[in-house]
Amino acid sequence: MGFGQDLRNSHEGLIKLQDWELKLLETVKRFMTLRVKSDKEYASLLLNICQQVDKHDNSSQIHYISTISKSWAHMVQQTEQLSKIMKSHAEELNSGPLHRLTMMIKDKQQVKRSYQSIHQQIEFELNKVTKTDLEKMKGTYRQLSKDAHSAREKYKEAVVKGKPEKARERYDKATMKLHNLHNQYVLAVRSAQLHQEHYHESALPLLLDSLQKMQEEMISTLKGILEEYSEITSLLTDEIVKVHKEIHTSIDQIDPVSEYDNFIEMYGSPGTKEPNVEFDVSLLEETENLQANEILWNNLTADSLQILSLCSCTLKILGTNAQYPLSAKACLYLSFSTVLLLSQKQSLEELRQTVQLLRCSQAKLSCQKELLEHKMKENEGKEPPPVVNYEEDARSVNSVVRFYRISKFDTLRHSIAGIIRSPKSFFDVIPTSEKPLGEQEWYHGAIPRTEAQELLKQQGDFLVRESHGKPGEYVLSVFSDGQRRHFIIQFADNQYRFEGTGFPTIPQLIEHHYTTKQVITKKSGVVLLNPVIKDKKWILNHEDVILGELLGKGNFGEVFKGTLKDKTPVAVKTCKEDLPQDLKIKFLSEARILKQYDHPNIVKLIGVCTQRQPIYIVMELVPGGDFLSFLRKKKEDLKPKQLVKFALDAAAGMAYLELKNCIHRDLAARNCLVGENNLLKISDFGMSRQEDDGIYSSSGLKQIPIKWTAPEALNYGRYSSESDVWSYGILLWETFSLGVCPYPGMTNQQAREQVEKGYRMSCPQKCPDEVYKIMQRCWDYKPENRPKFAEIYRELSLVKKK
C-alpha cells in the first residue's frame, strides 16, 4: 500500500489531509505555547510564595530547635528548587520542541505548496498533450479532409469539361496537406499515449510516493517532538522526584513526641513547692471555745449543720445519677485514639479538663462531707449545747429554735425534692431572643424590598430581612407615619446596633427595641410595635432541600432535581447570587404568583428558601420534562386525539389564570411541562403579571419572544388575557406541527412584518379543521375579537368527543 499505488485519483483527499494536519500542528503549537507560558507563571508563583514565606518567617523569635521549623524550611527550600526546575523546563520546551515544531510547520506548508505546484504542472502537461493539442489537430484534420474532398469533386468536374490541369494542382495540394497532417496526428496520438502511460506509471506515482515519504518523515519528526515534550514536561523526572522525596523525608523527620524536648530544656523552670494551706490560729486569740480544724456544734449552728448534711446526701444522690454520663465520657476518652478530627480531639481534651475540675470539686465536697458526718455522728440523738445558758427563758427559746429549725428544714427538703423530680425545668423556657435569627418569626430571609413593603400595612409593623443588593447585610423594615422605612443593621466590634447600644445578636437587638419601645434612631423616631409574622406555609430551610442532578439552566440560574426530607422529589430553581437586584425580584415574583394558584394544569409551588443566599424556588417535579422536547421526541407516537388532549389541558390552565386576572406573557410549548398520564401543566411564570383590570403595560422589547407575542404587545407594550390567547394559538400550532418552530424559515423581524401584513401560518398536517379555525380566531389582529379561554376550552371539549 502506498500513495503512488492507491491514491492516484485522490488529489482532493490529499489536499484535505495536508490542510487537516497543518491545523493540527497549529493546535499543538498553541498548546505548547500556552504550556510554556503556564509553566513559567507557575514557576514564578512558586518562587513568589517562597519569598513571601521568607519575609514573614518569625521562627527566630523562639530560640529553640524545632523539627517542624526545620522540616518547613526544607519544604520551602525544595519548593523554591522546584520552581527553578519548572522554569528551566519551560525554557527548554520553548527553545526545543516548540521551536522545532514552528520550523516543521513552515516545512509542511512548503511541501504542500511544492506538491500542488508539481501536480498542477504535470496535470497541465497531460491535459495539453492528450486533449488540447489533439483536439486542435482533429479540428484541422476534419477541415483539410473536407477541403480535399471538395478539390476532388472539382477535379472530376474539370476532367469532364476537359480542363483538369488547375483542378489537379489544387487537388494534389489539398491531398498533400491532409496526408501531412495525418502523419502529424498519428505521431501526436502515439506521443499522447506514451505521455499518458508515463503520467500514470511514473510521473504521478513518483510525485505521490515522494509526498508520502515527506509525510512520513514529518510524522517521525513530530513523534520526536512530542517525545521530547513528554520528557521535558513529565513530573516524574529524576529532578522533580528528588525534590518530592526530599520534602517527604523532611516531613518524616517531624516527631510529635520529641518535638518539644528542646523547648522544655530551654524554658523549663524548677518546681516550687506551694505553701500548705493551714488554719490561721491567730483568728482564735479573741474567741472562746473555738478550736482549730474542728466543727462547732451547738444550738446556734445545729440547723445549718443539719442543712449542710442534707445537702451532702443530695450531692451523693446526684453523684450516683451522674455515674452514667461520667462513664460515657470515660468511654469517649478511651476512644481518643480513634478520633481523627482535630476539633473533636480538642473537645475531648476540654472534657478531660472539665472532668479534672469536677474531680477536684468532688474531693473538696467529700472532705467537707466527712467532717460534717463525723460531727453529726458524735452528737446523734443529743440536744445541741447552748452557747450561753439563758435559764430564765430556756423553754421559750428552745421551742422557737426547734420550730424555726423544722420549718427551715422542710422548706429546703421540698425545694431539693422539686429539683430532683424535674431536673430539666430550668431549660424548659428559652427566651425568644436566644433563638437563632432564622427561627425568628419576624425574620423573612432574603425577600425583595418591594415584597417587604407590601407586608407592612399598619403603624409600627416591622420585619427583618437580608439585603438583596448586599448578601450578608441585614435590614429592618418598618411602617411608621405613613411611610415604609428601611434601616441597615450596623455590625462593628462584634456588636449589632442602629445608633445606640450594641448586642451580640440581631434577635437580642430587636427584642430590646421591641420590649423597651426605644426609638430605632433619634432622628427617625421609629418605634417597633407589631412584628409581621412570616407565612410558614411556604417557607423552607435550605437544609430541608437536598440538591441532585442538574436538569438545565434557566434565565436566573440553574435548575436541579431535588429531594425534601420526606423523600418527596422536587424541582429546585436557584438564583445566581451575583444577579442585579431587579432580576432577583423578578425571580421571586414567580413564587409570589404561584402561591395563589391551585389547579391540576398549573405547576405547583412547594415553597421558597429565602433564609440565605442563594435563593431557591421549590416546585413539584414534573417527570415528563418540557412539552417542546416531548413533542419532538415522541412525534412518531402522538395521535391527533392525544394532541387535542394536550391543547385542552393548556386551555383549562389558562382559563383558570384568566379568572385570576393573571397574564402569563410567555405561553409557549417550551414553558409547559408534561406530567404523569401525559397531563400538561403551565409553567415558567417568570414574566407573568397579575393586574386588577387584567391589563399590563410594558416598555421595551427586552427578552420578548417575538414569534409568540401578540401585535399589540409588540407595538404598544399592552399585555392582557387576549394577548395570551394569541400566544395560545401559536402553542396550538406548535402542538399539531409536533414541535416545529413557528414561522419556519423567517427571522423574528420577518415574522413580525408578515403578521402586520396579514400573513397567518397554514394548517399543520395532523391538525383537525376545527382546531385550525380556533387558531385563526386566536390570531385575529383585534384583541377584542379573539375568543376567551373558557370558550376555547368548551370548543376543544367538543372536538375531543368526536
Shared-domain flag, residues 464 and 568: no
Count the domains in the chain. Answer: 5
- Give residue-wise pLDDT tens across range 228-244: 999 999 988 888 899 99
Which of the residues 461, 626, 666, 684 is marked catalytic? 666
CATH of the domain at 159: 1.20.1270.60
- Rg of the chain over all Cα atoms, to the nearest angstrom: 50
Task: Report pTM.
Answer: 0.43
Question: Of 640, 801, 658, 619, nearest to 732 (Cα)?
Answer: 640
CATH of the domain at 459: 3.30.505.10
Q: Which residues 6+ apart lie within 8 Å of 690 measured at CB?
A: 593, 596, 660, 661, 662, 663
Distances (CA, A) of 99 to 18, 202, 217, 335, 709: 21, 37, 17, 62, 59
Confidence (pLDDT) at 411: 42
- Give residue-wise pLDDT tens across range 14-55: 999 999 999 999 999 999 999 999 999 999 999 988 888 876
Q: Please check whether residue 794 lies inside any domain of the structure.
A: yes
Q: Please check whether residue 735 lies inside any domain of the structure.
A: yes
Shared-domain flag, residues 335 and 472: no
Shared-domain flag, residues 48 and 135: yes
Q: Which residues form the domain of 372?
A: 296-382+400-427
Q: Which of 502, 530, 558 represents a domain boundary (last residue)?
A: 530
Shared-domain flag, residues 701 and 794: yes
Secondary structure E strands in 666-752? 672-674, 680-682, 689-690, 695-697, 718-720
For the beta carbon of residue 389, count every other beta carbon within 10 angstroms.
Answer: 8
CATH of the domain at 712: 1.10.510.10
Go through 433-450 and write b for each residue having 16 or more CB atoms within 10 A of its CB, e for each that does not.
beeebeebebbbbbbbbe
Q: Please check whether residue 395 lies inside any domain of the structure.
A: no
Q: Which of 389-393, 514-518, 614-618, 731-735 has the lowest mean pLDDT?
A: 389-393
Q: Please check whether residue 705 lies inside any domain of the structure.
A: yes
**Any binding-site annotation on 558?**
yes
Higher pLDDT, 281 or 748: 748
Residue 542: CA count within 13 A, CB half-sphere: 11
Shared-domain flag, residues 574 and 519: no
Name the DSSP class of 337: G
For the beta carbon of residue 414, count every other beta carbon within 10 angstroms.
Answer: 10
Shared-domain flag, residues 595 and 707: no
**Any binding-site annotation on 545?**
no
**Any binding-site annotation on 559?**
yes
Shared-domain flag, residues 225 and 173: yes
Question: Of 179, 171, 198, nearest to 141 (Cα)?
Answer: 179
Order of strands across the sheet that contains 530-531: 483-488, 474-480, 461-466, 530-531
What is the band of 264 on the pLDDT scale with cuts at 50, 70, 90?
Answer: confident
Higher pLDDT, 581 or 167: 167
Average pLDDT over residues 763-769: 92
Whether the predicted pLDDT of 424 surpasses 50: no
Confidence (pLDDT) at 571: 93
At 607 the three-state DSSP class reads strand
Question: Of 743, 726, 739, nearest to 789 (Cα)?
Answer: 726
What is the band of 345 on the pLDDT scale with cuts at 50, 70, 90?
Answer: low
Q: Cα(142)–Cα(155) distance, rounded to whole angstroms?
A: 20
Mean pLDDT of the chain: 83
Q: Which of 216, 233, 250 represents a domain boundary (last residue)?
A: 233
**Any binding-site annotation on 326?**
no
- Give residue-wise pLDDT tens across range 107-133: 999 999 999 999 999 999 999 999 999
CB 438, CB 465: distance < 8 Å: no
Q: Which residues 6+ apart lie within 8 Å of 739 measured at CB?
A: 628, 629, 631, 632, 635, 669
**CA 316, 322, 324, 327 torsion-angle sign:** negative
What is the band of 334 on the pLDDT scale with cuts at 50, 70, 90?
Answer: very low
Largest Cα separation within the chain, whole Å, is: 205
Q: Please check whether residue 28 lies inside any domain of the structure.
A: yes
Q: Which of 511, 530, 549 represents a domain boundary (last residue)?
A: 530
Give the rounded distance of the alpha carbon of 642 from its chain centre.
38
At 19 the three-state DSSP class reads helix
Shared-domain flag, residues 501 and 594: no
Q: Please check whether residue 249 lies inside any domain of the structure.
A: no
Go through 189-209 and write b for each residue having 16 or more CB atoms within 10 A of its CB, e for each that does not.
eeebeebeeebeeebbbebbe
Confidence (pLDDT) at 150: 92
Shared-domain flag, residues 584 and 524: no
In the block, cell 427617625 appears at: 524
- Give residue-wise pLDDT tens across range 270-329: 766 777 888 877 777 777 677 777 777 676 776 666 666 655 555 544 454 444 444 444
Active site annotation includes 769: no
Shared-domain flag, residues 602 and 646: no
Q: Which three cell numbers stand for residue 223?
A: 513523534
Angle (CA) 541 609 483, round 5°? 115
Q: Cα(740)–Cα(491) distance, rounded to whole angstroms?
A: 56
CATH of the domain at 590: 3.30.200.20
Name the DSSP class of 719: E
Shared-domain flag, residues 107 and 180: yes
Shared-domain flag, residues 376 and 462: no
Q: Please check whether residue 801 lies inside any domain of the structure.
A: yes
**Any binding-site annotation on 555?**
yes
Q: Cα(451)–Cα(459) distance, rounded to whole angstroms?
A: 17
Q: Which residues 6+ apart lie within 8 Å of 97 measured at CB?
A: 32, 225, 226, 228, 229, 232
CB 607, CB 470: distance < 8 Å: no
CB 543, CB 473: distance < 8 Å: no
Q: Please check whether residue 484 lies inside any domain of the structure.
A: yes
Whether the predicted pLDDT of 512 surpasses 70: yes
